[in-house]
Chain A
Amino acid sequence: MTLIHMNIIMAFSMSLVGLLMYRSHLMSALLCLEGMMLSLFVLAALTILNSHFTLANMMPIILLVFAACEAAIGLALLVTISNTYGTDYVQNLNLLQC
């Protein structure tokens, strides 16, 4: 079981590194975010099913729902940026510069 834990935690940290260190496209950050959510979901579902922790059975599902909403918002932001600049390069996001 711990092997599986390590596997998924490695997937999670891979997505985390991918989220925090990306090159130019905002899209890759969003994808890594999705990957993090997915790995969290799998980790939670496996652990809860393994320990028969019935009370927490709905936690992964709720997590998934919120992840879907968040993905929608992220995509909306992406579309707005793309509408303004034509691309989704992050070096364009410099409006807060003073």
Chain B
Amino acid sequence: MNLFTSFALLTLLILTTPIVMSTTSIHKNNKYQSYVKNIVFCAFITSLIPAMVYLHTNQEALISNWHWITIQTLKLTLSFKMDYFSLMFMPVSLFITWSIMEFSMWYMHSDPYINQFFKYLLLFLITMLILVTANNLFQLFIGWEGVGIMSFLLIGWWFGRTDANTAALQAILYNRIGDIGLLASMAWFLSNMNTWDLQQIFMLNQNSPNFPLMGLVLAAAGKSAQFGLHPWLPSAMEGPTPVSALLHSSTMVVAGIFLLVRFYPLMENNKFIQTTTLCLGAITTLFTAICALTQNDIKKIIAFSTSSQLGLMMVTIGLNQPYLAFLHICTHAFFKAMLFLCSGSIIHNLNNEQDIRKMGGLFKALPFTTTALIIGCLALTGMPFLTGFYSKDPIIETATSSYTNAWALLLTLTATSLTAIYSTRIIFFTLLGQPRFPPSTTINENNPLLINPIKRLLIGSIFAGFILSNSIPPMNTPLMTMPLHLKLTALAMTTLGFILAFEINTHTQNLKHTYPSNFSKFSTLLGYFPTIMHRLPPHLDLLMSQKLATSLLDLTWLETILPKTTALIQLKASTLTSNQQGLIKLYFLSFLITIILSMILFNYPE
């Protein structure tokens, strides 16, 4: 009997305290921010204990407290699943949230509603943890919707700006389309397996069914911005940088991938779903990497980079490696959050300038941010023995040496080199060269609230991969031998990308094209996807519904079919077949005479 379950529940309970305190006086003054930050730190410490116990003794737990309701044969309880995934994810996410909260104490310093901002961030964290620790699909759905709502509220934080409102609405709509898949899967599980509990679903799984897994893939595509449902993620950069760092890089967008990782016992036997996720992930990673190449907003480049890495995680799931995908989730969170924090530092120091064409020469002006940015980009591209290497390289190795779709593999490799290219673009345009910003801004990064979070995430970006991959228990046999050229594939693609990018970027100093080429236009306009999909289908839908309602229902079925047609036929027939004058009185007189005559004839036959 150890402190495993109590500390796991204590973590969740600690986080709800500031929400409860929001009615008291502490919510009204400046101390609320440090209060929330310290609470998250305490939650991080208490979540380390179950994680350590798990790493030491491989003890998993299922906490089932409160029986809520039994609807005929469905029993719904409040149950938390403390297994490998949730126990590893909780400390990582709490660490990153702690750093982001400290950063947002600096970034959102001048915002009058900063306490509400912290409350929203905390609510988001709580719902994310509900999602991660859920043992039944109902609780997962609560967390799922919760992160969607908080994403909406946080993206639209500066709601006076039209673009922010549009982006928030876009996020909700695309997530809703994914929710259809999740609800369909839940309905299937309810009607076929009579449960929403993960244990029972995995036990009763005879022949992996296609329909609920496709629903889950749709849900993951919506939440994790896979191709087809991806435009909300770059638009979500309208929110403040801490929001982008927390939600749209490390925590919320991995919820979809996390869902698929949770359901790996169902997916490991279904080749069709694996191929689907593989191809979807490959398309996503390449497409978003292409789009990232010509963006000019630093946050959008990092957002597309996130989308590309999510595609990579999807590819990993398609290769039947859920644990590797989960490791990539954890390691990616570190350096992606740090990249966002560095970009936030740059943006604030340049007086809210987000266009990389107007940055430059920050190498000497912001040395610490520069260091962090470079290390973050290197970790992102998979530089050997930094964090990204320990998850990205095994993914590429597994992809190259498994019996899989070669086209998807080629796309993934191309996206790997493109990763290096846009990372070089970020470094080149923001840090190197001569400054392109007005010199009247005071550049000062000498604030401990800014330095300390980035410092922590920096140490995490360097060492977390090593620490994590040496601590976790091995879940499947790793691949030990492969030909040398396959082992060096990822490194070679990345180096190729770096060299190409550096060459092309130095060209921009000297040679400028007068007009953009077709490929450049394709990349800048995000593959024409938002332009087409946000205008054409709504227009067609509304046109069709208007035509159906007005022309078909009202005009045709209710008016023309019987009344007007009858009148028309009568008119035509009578003008066609009649040759009479309108002598009605005479006609009626003839009727009368006929009647009298027939009565006489038939009554008096003799």
Residues in A lying within 8 Å of B, measured CB to CB: 16-17, 19-23, 29, 90-91, 93-98
Say which residue of A17, A20, A97 sits within 8 Å of B581 (CB atoms): A97
Verify B574–A96 contact, CB threshold 8 A: yes
Interface class of chain B by DSSP: helix
| Contact, CB under 8 Å: B592 / A17 | yes
CB neighbours (8 Å) of B592 from chain A are 16-17, 20-21
Contacts A16-B595, A20-B591, A20-B592 given; does A97 touch B582 at CB 8 Å: yes
- Closest A residue, CB atoms, query B578: A96
CA distance A18 to B595 in the complex (A): 13
Task: Give per-residue flags for B576-592: 1 if the beta carbon is below 8 A from chain A beta carbons, else 0.
Answer: 00111110110011011
Would you call A93 and B579 a contact (CB within 8 A)?
no
Contact of A94 among B575, B582, B589 (CB under 8 A): B582
Please report the C-alpha to C-alpha distance between residue A17 and residue B574 in the assembled complex, in whole angstroms.
Answer: 28
B575 contact set on A, CB distance < 8 A: 98
Contact B588 A98 (CB under 8 A): no
B588→A22 contact, CB < 8 A? yes
Given A21-B588, A98-B578, A98-B580, 6 new contacts (CB under 8 A): A17-B592, A20-B591, A93-B584, A96-B578, A96-B581, A97-B581
- In the complex where A16-B595, A17-B592, A20-B591 touch, is A90 in contact with B585 (Cβ < 8 A)? yes
Q: Which A-chain residue is minimally distant from B581 (CB atoms)?
A: A97
Instruction: A17 to B578: give the CA distance in the assembly, Å.
Output: 27
| 6 nearest A-B pairs in the assembled complex, by CB-CB distance | A94-B582, A20-B592, A20-B588, A90-B584, A97-B581, A93-B582
User: Which residues of chain B (550-606) have a CB below 8 Å from chain A?
Assistant: 574-575, 578-582, 584-585, 588-589, 591-592, 595
Q: How far is the CB of A29 from chain B (nearest CB, A)?
A: 8
- Chosen A-B contacts, 23 in total, with CB atoms closer than 8 Å, are A16-B592, A17-B592, A20-B588, A20-B591, A20-B592, A21-B589, A22-B585, A22-B588, A23-B585, A90-B584, A90-B585, A91-B582, A93-B584, A94-B581, A94-B582, A96-B578, A96-B582, A97-B581, A97-B582, A98-B575, A98-B578, A98-B579, A98-B580
Closest to A19 in B: B588
B residues at A contact (CB < 8 Å): 574-575, 578-582, 584-585, 588-589, 591-592, 595
CA distance A29 to B588 in the complex (A): 10
Contacts of A22 in B (CB 8 A): 585, 588
Considering only CB atoms, which chain A residue lies closest to B593 in the complex? A20
A21 to B593, CA, bound (A): 10
With both chains docked as a complex, state the minimum distance between the C-beta of A40 and any C-beta of chain B, in angstroms.
15
For the complex, give the distance between the alpha carbons of A20 and B580 in Å: 19
**In the bound complex, CA of A78 to CA of B574 (Å):** 20
Residues of B near A21 (CB, < 8 A) are 585, 588-589, 592
Residues of A within 8 A of B578 (CB): 96, 98
A4 to B582, CA, bound (A): 39
**A39 CA to B40 CA in the complex, in Å?**
95
Q: Which residues of the other chain, B, contact A98 by a CB distance below 8 angstroms?
A: 575, 578-580
User: Which residues from chain A contact B588 at a C-beta distance below 8 Å?
Assistant: 19-22, 29
Complex CA gap A53/B405 in Å reads 88
Question: A79 vs B585: C-alpha distance in the bound complex, in angstroms?
Answer: 20
Cα–Cα, bound, A20→B582 (Å): 15
For the complex, what is the distance from the CA of A16 to the CA of B479, rounded to whole Å?
A: 106
**Min C-beta distance of B584 to chain A, whole Å:** 5
A94 to B580, CA, bound (A): 9
Residues from chain A with Cβ under 8 Å of B591 in the complex: 20
Bound Cα distance A93, B574 (Å): 14
Q: Is B595's CB under 8 angstroms from A96's CB?
A: no
B566, chain A: closest CB distance, angstroms: 14
Closest to B579 in A: A98
Quote the shortest CB–CB distance from B53 to chain A (angstroms). 86
A97 CA to B580 CA in the complex, in Å?
Answer: 5
Q: CA of A91 to CA of B587 in the docked complex: distance in angstroms?
A: 12
When distances are taken between beta carbons in the complex, the residues of chain A under 8 Å from B589 are 20-21
Identify the interface centre among B581, B582, B591: most chain A CB within 10 Å of its CB: B582
Give CA–CA (A54, B453) in the complex, Å: 98
**Inter-chain contacts of B582 with A (CB < 8 A):** 91, 93-97
Taking CB atoms, residues of chain A closer than 8 Å to B579 are 98
CB distance from A17 to the nearest CB of B (A): 6
**Quick one: given A17-B592, A21-B592, are A96 and B585 in contact (CB under 8 Å)?**
no
Chain B residues near A16: list those with CB within 8 A. 592, 595
A82 to chain B, nearest CB (A): 16
- Per the bound structure, the CA–CA distance linking A70 and B574 in Å amounts to 22
Cα-based distance from A97 to B595 in the complex (angstroms): 26
How long is the Cα–Cα vector from A5 to B575 in the complex, in angstroms? 44
User: Closest approach, in angstroms, between the C-beta of A36 and any C-beta of chain B?
Assistant: 12
- Shortest Cβ gap from B2 to chain A (Å): 87
**Bound-state Cα–Cα, A94 to B591, Å:** 19
Smallest beta-carbon distance B581→chain A, Å: 5
Whether A96 lies near B584 (C-beta < 8 A) is: no
Query: In chain B, what residue has the closest Cβ to A23?
Result: B585
Q: A15 vs B254: C-alpha distance in the bound complex, in angstroms?
A: 89
| Chain B residue contacts of A29, Cβ below 8 A | 588
> Within 8 Å CB of B584, what residues of A?
90, 93
In the assembled complex, the Cα of A91 lies from the Cα of B584 at a distance in Å of 8
Closest to A90 in B: B584
Shortest CB distance A87–B (Å): 15
In whole Å, how far is B567's beta carbon from the nearest beta carbon of chain A?
Answer: 12
Smallest CB gap from B590: residue in A: A20
Q: In chain B, what residue has the closest Cβ to A95?
A: B582
**Cα distance A95–B588 when bound, in Å?**
17
Question: Once the chains are docked, how many angstroms separate the CA of A21 from the CA of B578?
Answer: 23
Residues of the B chain whose Cβ atoms lie less than 8 Å from the Cβ of A90: 584-585
Given the complex of chains A and B, what is the CA–CA distance between A20 and B591 in angstroms? 7
Residues of A within 8 A of B580 (CB): 96-98
**How far, in whole Å, are A17 and B591 apart by their CA atoms in the complex?**
10
- What's the nearest-Cβ distance from chain B to residue A5, in Å? 16
Bound-state CA distance A19–B588 (Å) is 8
Q: How far is the CA of A17 from the CA of B599 in the complex (A)?
A: 14
B586 to chain A, nearest CB (A): 10
Alpha-carbon gap, A91 to B575, bound state (A): 19
Across-interface contacts of A97 in B (CB, < 8 A): 580-582
